[in-house]
Structure 1
Amino acid sequence: MTVRNLDALFKPESVAVIGASSRAGSLGAIVWERVLAGGFNGPVWPVNPKYDELDGGIVFADAGDLLEAPSVALVCTPSATWVDIVGKLGRLGTRAVIIVADARRDHAADPAVVQATLAAARPHLLRIVGPASVGVVTPALRAYLGAPPYLVKHGGVAWVSQSNALTNAVLGWADARGLGFSHAIALGDEIDVDAGDVLDYLASDSATRAILLELNTVRSARKFMSAARAAARNKPVLVLRTGRGDANDALYTAAFRRAGMVRVDSLDDLLDEIETLGVGRIAASSTATLVTSDRGVASLATDAFAAAGGMLAQWSDETVRTLAGALPHVSPGNPLLLGDDARPEDFRRALEALAPRGDTGTAFVIHSTTHGAPVEEVARVVIDCQCIAYRGMLACFFGGLETATRDALRARGIAVHPTPQRLARAFTRLVDYRLGRELLMQTPQGLPARIPAAIEAAQAYAAAALAEDGRAFLADEAAVRLLEPFALPVRADNEPCPSDTIVDIAVELHDDAEFGPVFRFAAPPVDGISAPFVFYGLPPLNPTLAREVLSRSPYAHRVPIDPVLSVLTALSDAICVIEQIAGFTASLRIAPARVDLRSPQIRLAPKRGRLAIVPYPRRLEQTIEWRGMHLTIRPIRPEDEPAHSAFAAAMSPEDLRMRFFGAVRGFDHSQLARMTQIDYDREMAFIATAADANGAMETLGVVRAVADPDNESAEFAVAVRSDMKGKGLGRLLMERIIDYARARGTRVITGEILRENAPMLALARARGFEMHASEDPAVISVRFPLQ
């Protein structure tokens, strides 16, 4: 997982077009013309040995002849030239290449050429997009790098796609509606930069408010899940997956949900989110109040909202009285029906009365023009009231709006949809995102530092079974023995079936080629006719995550919840702890008074795929006596967010500046979530905690390290609460992260320290870090070899 040099793609300072041409219709001409037409305000250099001059500028004969390294180079030449071009650009210092050319149309192309191109890029850390990418678009910089057919506006939504055709279509759709993007990227063949890399970059991109992702397959599932979870913690990520009919589609749905992404069913829905997320703000409520004038429109909107799975707000008696006082001629209710003779001022009074009432949810204004209330005048009322709509506002105006009015609504953050159905679906997707983000807070526990003897015995039993023939199949008593430490209610299949059995659910674990170990559940149809209901779960699970998996079953409201969650969680623990379990089948028999796991069969293998999500590494927790207190040093968890906020607040402005290289007033939820909700496979943050005078645990210090994808190096940073400075806590935390990185196999640990931060520099020097100048004269780079 790396975002290294992706800033060259999304924030380029200079561009070279390799193969730039004046030959009409050629790829080199299309790319060259598009870069010029976009109006990129940095240097643009054409490279082609066939020209001396192009559009009034000097043409370089060879990539190696460029006088300086372009941030990004666009390659429009045959695949036979790629290795040489990439090598020269890498040596020059170019950080990114977009291969617009399509190797599949090049008869000289060979898979070996692609691998050789990657090999030429790797020593220089040069990133490659493509081949066969339509390009990367950043409208704010007027950077149209590739062959996109439209010049679109700047907006708050990023588009990421594996399809050139869909990217072109979406750019055209947005252009026709006056909508824009923060970035748009067509990934092409993803030989290097893939969806996971881009999601990881966009997660921290301040210009991107939301991400729309279109894909068919996921490459490197753990990397993708890690990046998606990081992005979804900060902003909505909506995903459209083509290939609904394939066997793995339900697995993708489960993976998307676990990553906090919202899946949409159609391109229309995804396009609607360019309006909702690029213009509006995330709804702060899960319910809504509909405001309209016409009874027929009210009925249509109510049906649309119900069909989309939304909930109308239930008003309190106090709210009813408030609305009755503000609009005495209207019968208060949801939908709030203002009547056919409603005037714009009636909409104003309604919105003003609704605004302070927390039980009314998000305001939906749905209106079709009337003689008394033209849509343009009602729209102006909506704009005026936007500042008091604390839980958000969305609008639907039948018949459309004048462009100026539409743009004015968007400028105030009010998304507008043409029909109630599309508005309702857009809102429920925002609600889904809010609920999905709650699942990201869940961190199932791993093994403790001291493994219980019973679990050690089970691990040894699995290893011994494998040692006999290299692959083992366990059934009956052998399977029961392996599962015994996890307190699973395993029953023999010949035991009588309870007469009150609710359902038998087939449980299977298989080692997916992309996502690693995954659970597959198959429940019989409720009607006895339809196909079995199949749903997936990705271990590790805890009771909350298991409940979310169970909620997708049609039997969710008929089974005893706690016993089922207990079995699913224990089964997940067994799978995570005994890494030789590569396959598992059983029947989960559920009755009102008991839940049994029947006929377990286990397949062992010496190696299986990695879990797509890493559990909380409980084994790394440590409690020590330090300066008269019980000090716990452990990995950070999502529930540490309040304590981490208090920790930052207790640091002096100067200490914060030293740590973050600039003035910091505080951190919002999104920033704190990024600090506390980490992926333990890609980074680590240890916090030092102790009990305060009231017995509550408080954070005293934190140290972080983020490794590169090859685990060659990890960058660290340490911060200690201001009143704890000078006591040795910083050194203690530094030693902890060094030991962790060394045990993980990282070769070198690095950091950057402000030159004026004398105490931190002294600590690094005393520990044996090498000191080096950096590109910024105010910053010292430090380096410590580990292996």
Structure 2
Amino acid sequence: MTVRNLDALFRPQSVAVIGASKRAGSIGEMVWSRVLHGGFGGALWPVNPKYDELDGHRVMADVGDLAEPASVALICTPPATWAAIVHRLGGMGTRAAIIVGEARCDEDRTAVRHALAAAKPHLLRIVGPASLGVVTPALGAHLGAPSCTVKAGGVAWVSQSNALTNAVLGWAHARGLGFSHAVALGDEADVDAGDVLDYLASDPGTRAILLELDTVRAARKFMSAARAAARNKPVLALRPGRSDPVDALYTAAFRRAGMVRVDTLDDLLDEIETLGVGRVAASDTATLITSDRGVAALASDAFAASGDTLARWPDDATEAVVNALPNATPGNPLLLGDNARPEHFGTALELLATRRATGTAFVVHASTHSAPAAQVAKVLCAQQKFAYRGLLACFFGGVDTATRDALHAHGIPVHTTPQRLASAFARLVDYRLGRELLMQTPEGLSARLPESIDAAQAQACAALTAAEAGQVVDTTTAKLTGDDAARLLGHFGLTVEPKESAERVIVDIAVELHDDENFGPVFRFTAPSADGVSPPMRSYGLPPLNPVLARDIVGRSPYAHLVPAEPSLVALTGISQAVCDVREIVGLSLTMRVFQTRTVIVGPCVRLARKRSRLAIVPYPRRFEETLDWHGLRVTIRPIRPEDEAAHSEMVKGMTADDLRLRFFGAVRSFDHSQLARMTQIDYDREMALIATITDEHGSMHTLGVVRAIADPDNETAEFAVALRSDQKGRKLGRLLMERIIAYARTRGTHWLVGEALRENTPMIRLAQACGFTVTRTEDPGVVGFRMALDEEVGDSRA
């Protein structure tokens, strides 16, 4: 996982087009024309030995003739030339390249491998091959061959399909909609969906991400990036192929990552309107405002079909509407009457704005003589500021281009039917609910497993050794069944019973674990049809699970309303804990038998091996927790969790303005929710943040300090940073935290730990030196660097 050098793709300062051409229909001509006429304001250099000049630009005969390295190179030449071009570009300092041409045969695919090898020493990133390109409309950067010029907007488009990308760009262009970025990934030889999601997660110009993909190539990386992005902004995914046997697994993965899956391209296109234009808060409820009873009925039906809820008005809202709009029928939907005038819509918005219980405002209108659509739209633009949770509009028959553009300019999305409006809102609500699941951090491996579990693992290893010695067909696995499996699962709170029971069984749920080649360990749950007619319920789940995540799975069962959920939640959590803690478990099958008041395990079979794939989602690393006495306080040092956001905000407020400036290299007043979420909702595979906390006499938790380390994708180098509440300075808390992050980085096998500080930050410099860091110079004279070798071999080789 890395966003290294992706800024060159998304914020280029100069572009070189290798193979630029004037030959009509050639890749070089299409790419050069689009870059030239897209409005890019940076330096633009064509390279082709066949020309001296192209459209007023001097043409370089060779890459080596460039006066300076280009931020991005667009490679439009045959595959046999790719490796040499990439090698030259990397040596010059170019940080990214887009290969537009396709790799059609084995020889071409060999050329791709050589190009990647040539790029690696220079850390040059490659998009493609077979990429339509990367577009950043705000800069006029159309890097590739998109079918049209793209307008700037707030939604990013990321796709594995060139044809679909062109279709979507054209659709949006015709409707005056735009994008923050548009990326056609091509064959994803280097830069893939996970890398792009990771970059867009922190891109301030991107309010939402629309993703179209067929296959996830690196599930662990993708899940990490998707979760990071979805914590900050809506991520909607379209995956074609509902008949694909693994499609249900993708649905579970998207949901676990906090993404909202959409079923059709129409749904995804609607979100370009909803998310790219407006800033709509997805409250649970909404108020419909219209003038016509028939329109109100259609809109209400659409909301009901989408699972949306119309708000219950408080009494004072009804009273206010009656007083200000005597001809209206108060309630939800709010009927303004057949003779309603445009200003009545504005009055309704203003009245409801202060009553937040009325939810998000939706104006659904069919043009009338007394309230023409253009005049109503004008009032909505003027009164949009009163819509507390945003404003969405639906105009039957649409509006003219000027009216549509005016609504867009005021952040008001416009839909053509109530059904599309309701569905778009339902997806926003789904995103909010998905973010609640993202907040869940199931615990992982405990500090010390019970000895009996260790014995079970030893038994498993003995069984594996015996199997290997016997040279049976399956020489890599062993099975635990009967009492052996029961003893192992019993340590995780699971009750294993024989199949015979006089008690009435509500349902038997088959639970299987298999080691998916992409997503790693995955649960599959199968329950029989509740009505005897529908097909069996099948769903997937990715460990680790906790009761909240387990409830999300159980709640979708047709049997959920028949029994209390708690026993099943405990059972699912226990099964997940066993899989997470005993890493030799590569397969599992059992029946989760649900009775009226309890849930037990029947017929467990546990398959073990010496090695299994990594979990796609890393559990909360409980093993790094410790509690100690420090300066008369009982301090707990542990990895940060999402629920630490409030305490983290309090810690930041407890830092002086100067301390904040020294830590963040500039003036900082405060952090908003999105920034705090990035600090507290981390992926423990790619980042670690250890916090020191205390609990006061009232039971409230307070954060005193935090230290972080973020490793590069090769785990060669990790960058650290430390921050302390200002009243804790001088008490050696920084040293306490630094020692632990150094030890953590060593356990991960990281070779170097590095950091930076302002040269005037003498306390930080002294702390780094005391911990064993070497102080180094940086390119910025006002900043010093810190560097520590974490293993002797690296330290000796680079001394």
Shorter chain as denominator, the TM-score bin is over 0.9
1:348 paired residue number: 346
In 1, the alpha carbon distance for the partners of 2:186 and 2:194 equals 14
Confirm whether residue 754 of structure 1 aligns to residue 752 of structure 2.
Answer: no
Which of 144, 147, 165 aligns to 2:145? It is 147
In 1, the alpha carbon distance for the partners of 2:662 and 2:399 equals 51
Instruction: Give the partner amino acid of 2:731.
Output: K
SS at structure 2 position matched to 1:535: strand
Confirm whether residue 472 of structure 1 aligns to residue 478 of structure 2.
Answer: yes
> 1:54-112 CA distances to partner (integer Å, 9 max, x unpaired)?
223222222223221101100011111111011111111110010001111xx573432
Confirm whether residue 774 of structure 1 aligns to residue 778 of structure 2.
Answer: yes
Most deviating of 3-12 and 502-511: 502-511
1:51 paired residue number: 51
In 1, the alpha carbon distance for the partners of 2:453 and 2:326 equals 70
2:302 paired residue number: 304
Confirm whether residue 721 of structure 1 aligns to residue 722 of structure 2.
Answer: no
Work out whether residues 586 and 597 of structure 1, in 8 Å CA contact, stay in contact via their aligned partners in 2. Answer: yes
Instruction: Give the partner amino acid of 2:188.
Output: E
1:67 paired residue number: 67
1:163 paired residue number: 161
2:438 paired residue number: 440
Which of 549, 563, 569 aligns to 1:545? It is 549
Confirm whether residue 489 of structure 1 aligns to residue 487 of structure 2.
Answer: no
In 2, the alpha carbon distance for the partners of 1:694 and 1:547 equals 31
In 2, the alpha carbon distance for the partners of 1:366 and 1:329 equals 18
1:592 paired residue number: 596
Work out whether residues 586 and 600 of structure 1, in 8 Å CA contact, stay in contact via their aligned partners in 2. Answer: yes
Instruction: Give the partner amino acid of 1:96.
Output: A
The offset of 1:378, in angstroms, is 1.2
In 1, the alpha carbon distance for the partners of 2:790 and 2:307 equals 54
Q: Which runs of 5+ in 1 are unaligned?
A: none
Which of 564, 567, 570 aligns to 1:560? It is 564
Confirm whether residue 737 of structure 1 aligns to residue 741 of structure 2.
Answer: yes
2:387 paired residue number: 389
Confirm whether residue 508 of structure 1 aligns to residue 506 of structure 2.
Answer: no
The offset of 1:777, in angstroms, is 2.7
Which of 533, 536, 552 aligns to 1:532? It is 536
Residues 626 and 108 of structure 1, relative CA distance in 2, 3 Å threshold: closer
Work out whether residues 283 and 427 of structure 1, in 8 Å CA contact, stay in contact via their aligned partners in 2. Answer: no
Work out whether residues 9 and 96 of structure 2, in 8 Å CA contact, stay in contact via their aligned partners in 1. Answer: yes
In 2, the alpha carbon distance for the partners of 1:262 and 1:385 equals 31
Instruction: Give the partner amino acid of 1:338.
Output: L
2:41 paired residue number: 41
The offset of 1:467, in angstroms, is 2.9
> 1:375-402 CA distances to partner (integer Å, 9 max, x unpaired)?
1111122122211111221100112212
> 1:242-299 CA distances to partner (integer Å, 9 max, x unpaired)?
1111011111111111111011111111011111111111324111111111111111
Work out whether residues 704 and 725 of structure 2, in 8 Å CA contact, stay in contact via their aligned partners in 1. Answer: yes
Which of 202, 205, 220 aligns to 1:204? It is 202
1:265 paired residue number: 263
In 2, the alpha carbon distance for the partners of 1:39 and 1:285 equals 39
Confirm whether residue 601 of structure 1 aligns to residue 599 of structure 2.
Answer: no
RMSD of aligned residue pairs (Cα, Å) = 1.4
In 2, the alpha carbon distance for the partners of 1:598 and 1:230 equals 38
1:93 paired residue number: 93
> 1:312-356 CA distances to partner (integer Å, 9 max, x unpaired)?
112233333332223233332211112211112322222222211
1:254 paired residue number: 252
> 1:134-193 CA distances to partner (integer Å, 9 max, x unpaired)?
000000000000111110111010000000001100110111001101000000000100
Instruction: Give the partner amino acid of 2:478.
Output: A
Work out whether residues 445 and 615 of structure 1, in 8 Å CA contact, stay in contact via their aligned partners in 2. Answer: yes
In 2, the alpha carbon distance for the partners of 1:114 and 1:559 equals 57
- TM-score by length of structure 2 reads 0.96
Instruction: Give the partner amino acid of 2:490.
Output: E
In 1, the alpha carbon distance for the partners of 2:31 and 2:705 equals 51
SS at structure 2 position matched to 1:527: coil
The offset of 1:513, in angstroms, is 1.0
SS at structure 2 position matched to 1:366: strand
1:665 paired residue number: 669
Q: Which runs of 5+ in 2 are unaligned?
A: 468-475, 792-799
Work out whether residues 203 and 235 of structure 1, in 8 Å CA contact, stay in contact via their aligned partners in 2. Answer: yes
The offset of 1:560, in angstroms, is 2.0
> 1:15-56 CA distances to partner (integer Å, 9 max, x unpaired)?
111111111111011111111011211111111122222223
Residues 464 and 481 of structure 1, relative CA distance in 2, 3 Å threshold: farther
Work out whether residues 17 and 76 of structure 1, in 8 Å CA contact, stay in contact via their aligned partners in 2. Answer: yes
In 2, the alpha carbon distance for the partners of 1:622 and 1:108 equals 54
Residues 596 and 694 of structure 1, relative CA distance in 2, 3 Å threshold: closer
In 2, the alpha carbon distance for the partners of 1:405 and 1:609 equals 55
> 1:542-593 CA distances to partner (integer Å, 9 max, x unpaired)?
0000001112222222232000101000010011111111111112221212
- TM-score by length of structure 1 reads 0.97
Instruction: Give the partner amino acid of 2:158.
Output: V
SS at structure 2 position matched to 1:490: coil
SS at structure 2 position matched to 1:690: strand
Residues 544 and 166 of structure 1, relative CA distance in 2, 3 Å threshold: same
Instruction: Give the partner amino acid of 1:435.
Output: L
1:452 paired residue number: 450
The offset of 1:693, in angstroms, is 5.7
2:586 paired residue number: 582
Most deviating of 446-455 and 611-620: 446-455
SS at structure 2 position matched to 1:103: coil
In 2, the alpha carbon distance for the partners of 1:549 and 1:694 equals 36
Percent of aligned positions with the same letter in both sequences?
A: 69
Work out whether residues 453 and 491 of structure 2, in 8 Å CA contact, stay in contact via their aligned partners in 1. Answer: yes
Work out whether residues 280 and 391 of structure 2, in 8 Å CA contact, stay in contact via their aligned partners in 1. Answer: no
The offset of 1:695, in angstroms, is 4.7
Instruction: Give the partner amino acid of 2:178.
Output: G
Q: How does 1:215-294 map to 2 (within 5 A)?
A: 215-294=213-292
Most deviating of 438-447 and 228-237: 438-447
Work out whether residues 76 and 99 of structure 2, in 8 Å CA contact, stay in contact via their aligned partners in 1. Answer: yes
In 2, the alpha carbon distance for the partners of 1:643 and 1:487 equals 32
Instruction: Give the partner amino acid of 1:496.
Output: S
Work out whether residues 155 and 207 of structure 2, in 8 Å CA contact, stay in contact via their aligned partners in 1. Answer: yes
In 2, the alpha carbon distance for the partners of 1:65 and 1:280 equals 47
The offset of 1:686, in angstroms, is 0.5
Which of 322, 325, 331 aligns to 2:323? It is 325
Instruction: Give the partner amino acid of 2:773.
Output: F
Runs of 4+ in 1 over 6 A off after TM superposition: none
The offset of 1:11, in angstroms, is 0.2
SS at structure 1 position matched to 2:514: strand
Most deviating of 770-779 and 301-310: 770-779
Residues 631 and 381 of structure 1, relative CA distance in 2, 3 Å threshold: same
Most deviating of 91-100 and 59-68: 59-68
Most deviating of 301-310 and 458-467: 458-467
1:461 paired residue number: 459
Most deviating of 217-226 and 355-364: 355-364
Work out whether residues 152 and 180 of structure 1, in 8 Å CA contact, stay in contact via their aligned partners in 2. Answer: yes
The offset of 1:597, in angstroms, is 1.5
Number of residue pairs matched by the alignment:
783
Work out whether residues 529 and 537 of structure 2, in 8 Å CA contact, stay in contact via their aligned partners in 1. Answer: yes
Confirm whether residue 313 of structure 1 aligns to residue 302 of structure 2.
Answer: no
Q: How does 1:593-672 map to 2 (within 5 A)?
A: 593-672=597-676
Work out whether residues 453 and 488 of structure 2, in 8 Å CA contact, stay in contact via their aligned partners in 1. Answer: no
Most deviating of 405-414 and 233-242: 405-414
Confirm whether residue 370 of structure 1 aligns to residue 368 of structure 2.
Answer: yes
Work out whether residues 458 and 485 of structure 1, in 8 Å CA contact, stay in contact via their aligned partners in 2. Answer: no
Instruction: Give the partner amino acid of 1:367.
Output: H
